[in-house]
């Protein structure tokens, strides 16, 4: 399958992908679109041509600044819409997309927006390599994992209000920190600012309060996935986290990639996860392939310098699967809603170049990270830009997430 729109220079946005996002052009309001190559299919404009009539998509769901109303129509509708677009974009004969050139917008002319209104955001801790590294650094090198870790996907409730779309700059946060040698805490800009390489699920279906989601049906609830940079201030985090967990060291900003890659597009890239030992409880047992083979990478670009790759890993290294995170989250009856984000937690692999945070790459600031050209980092400096990319290849089929990027700006003047 190939498209009559050239995708050779944009393999992330191949005919196999067709991710959903919210875009705007000069003089027009943000609205839903689907990416293909260097184009966006303007769903609002396409609907106005009347050619989507058979899908029974209400016009008002495409007249919105977020995807929640469209996603809420259910996968029976959004999958049909995606497959219809795939057919029209691959068929060389006459079809509505070939007849209506105005429904194809150049991606370079579009601004991207947060794709969903995020109601709730949950962050997990599902990479064993990451949890082990952090345990070794902060607790016990010989007993790094806490006793619960292999029995349940550990997570916490984050904050949705500070989730921003790729391209949004992040100011270095102020916070209370206690240097190891000091007897009392001080209030100052974070000196240990970090990224966390994560992938987040976007929920596409809600479960009523009190009704857990059966793990075998978890995919029905996951509309798709985005790249997720969970910016973290390690010095604030280290002092505040006991005993209730992450708080102000995390909630000053998290960045998402603008295009939601659907669960259906990713189905070709499913693989088995590692053997879970000890065996999990029955509600976390899952049939079939549970994980995704997606190459992930992180780059740091110093101000005025060149972008340097600092991490290259794979989503398949995760210990806990998306289905297990979803099933565990709702196992007490907690209700999830359309647009909720469930992030994986930092994705690390077993090798040092596969670590998904600077905390691990610099081993808590003890080893410099080489950016080339004589430039080194332990943590992020002002004006550094962090970019994450994700890409999957299976034979001749490839697709990707595009990127999530963000620059660190100096702290705003403190106005307490």
What is the bridge-based pairing of β-strands 270-271 and 369-370? unpaired
The catalytic residue positions are 130
**Residue among 129 and 196 whose Cβ is closer to Ca ion:** 196
**Residue among 123 and 235 whose Cβ is closer to Ca ion:** 123
Q: Does 360 bind Ca ion (CB under 5 A)?
A: no
**Residue among 196 and 360 whose Cβ is closer to Ca ion:** 196
Distance of CA 52 to the CA centre of its chain: 30
Q: Where in 288-347 is the site for Ca ion (CB under 5 A)?
A: none
Distance of CA 83 to the CA centre of its chain: 24
The residue at minimum Cβ distance from Ca ion is: 230
d(C-alpha 231, C-alpha 32), whole Å: 27
Which residues on adjacent β-strands are paired with residue 389?
297, 403
Closest CA relative to residue 365, chosen from 348, 380, 375: 380
Only segment of 46-54, 181-189, 191-199, 308-316 that touches Ca ion (CB under 5 A):
191-199
Q: Does 196 bind Ca ion (CB under 5 A)?
A: yes
Only segment of 55-63, 115-123, 179-187, 334-342 that touches Ca ion (CB under 5 A):
115-123
Q: Which of 42, 123, 194, 403 binds Ca ion (CB under 5 A)?
A: 123
**Residue among 230 and 340 whose Cβ is closer to Ca ion:** 230
Whole-number minimum distance, CB 142 to Ca ion, in Å?
25
The site string for Ca ion over 203-242 (x = CB under 5 A, - otherwise) reads ---------------------------x------------
Q: Does 42 bind Ca ion (CB under 5 A)?
A: no
Total of chain residues touching Ca ion, rule CB under 5 A = 3
Strands (E), 230-364: 232-233, 254-256, 261-262, 270-271, 291-292, 295-301, 308-314, 341-343
d(C-alpha 270, C-alpha 292), whole Å: 5
C-alpha distances out from residue 281 to 286, 328, 333, Å: 10, 10, 17
Only segment of 76-84, 87-95, 193-201, 267-275 that touches Ca ion (CB under 5 A):
193-201
Only segment of 42-50, 120-128, 175-183, 290-298 that touches Ca ion (CB under 5 A):
120-128
Cα-Cα-Cα-Cα dihedral sign, residues 18, 291, 69, 227: negative
Which residues on adjacent β-strands are paired with residue 377?
369
**Residue among 20 and 225 whose Cβ is closer to Ca ion:** 225
Tally of helices (H runs) and strands (E runs) in the chain: 8, 26
Residue ranges that bind Ca ion, judged by CB under 5 A: 123, 196, 230
């Amino acid at each position: 399958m190939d498209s009559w729109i050239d995708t050779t220079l944009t393999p992330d946005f191949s005919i196999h992908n067709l991710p959903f996002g919210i875009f705007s052009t000069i003089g027009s309001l943000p609205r839903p679109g689907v990416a293909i190559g260097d184009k966006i299919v303007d769903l609002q404009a396409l609907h106005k041509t009347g050619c989507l009539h058979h899908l029974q998509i209400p016009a008002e769901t495409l007249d919105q600044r977020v995807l929640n109303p469209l996603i809420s129509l259910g996968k029976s509708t959004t999958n049909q819409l995606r497959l219809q677009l795939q057919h029209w974009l691959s068929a060389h004969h006459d079809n509505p997309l070939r007849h209506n050139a105005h429904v194809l917008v150049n991606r370079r002319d579009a601004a991207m927006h947060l794709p969903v209104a995020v109601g709730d955001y949950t962050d997990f801790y599902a990479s064993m390599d990451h949890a082990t590294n952090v345990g070794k650094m902060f607790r016990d090198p010989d007993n790094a994992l806490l006793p619960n870790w292999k029995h349940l996907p550990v997570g916490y409730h984050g904050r949705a209000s500070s989730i921003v779309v790729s391209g949004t700059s992040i100011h270095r946060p102020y916070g209370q920190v206690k240097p190891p040698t000091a007897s009392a805490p001080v209030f100052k800009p974070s000196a240990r600012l970090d990224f966390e390489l994560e992938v987040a699920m976007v929920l596409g279906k809600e479960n009523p309060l009190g009704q857990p989601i059966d793990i075998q049906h978890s995919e029905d609830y996951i509309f798709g996935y985005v790249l997720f940079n969970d910016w973290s201030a390690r010095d604030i985090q280290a002092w505040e986290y006991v005993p209730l967990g992450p708080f102000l060291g995390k909630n000053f900003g998290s960045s998402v990639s603008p295009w939601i890659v659907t669960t259906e597009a990713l189905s070709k890239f499913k693989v088995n996860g590692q053997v879970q030992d000890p065996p999990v409880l029955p509600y976390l047992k899952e049939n079939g392939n549970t994980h995704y083979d997606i190459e992930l990478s992180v780059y740091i670009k110093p101000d005025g310098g060149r972008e340097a790759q600092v991490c290259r890993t794979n989503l398949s290294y995760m210990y806990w699967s998306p289905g297990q995170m979803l099933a565990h989250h709702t196992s007490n009856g907690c209700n999830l809603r359309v647009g909720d984000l469930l992030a994986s937690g930092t994705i690390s692999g077993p090798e040092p170049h596969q670590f998904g945070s600077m905390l691990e790459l610099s081993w808590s600031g003890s080893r410099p990270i080489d950016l080339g050209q004589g430039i080194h980092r332990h943590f992020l400096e002002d004006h550094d830009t962090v970019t994450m990319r994700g890409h999957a290849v299976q034979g001749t089929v490839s697709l990707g997430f595009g990127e999530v990027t963000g620059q660190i700006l100096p702290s705003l003047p403190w106005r307490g």
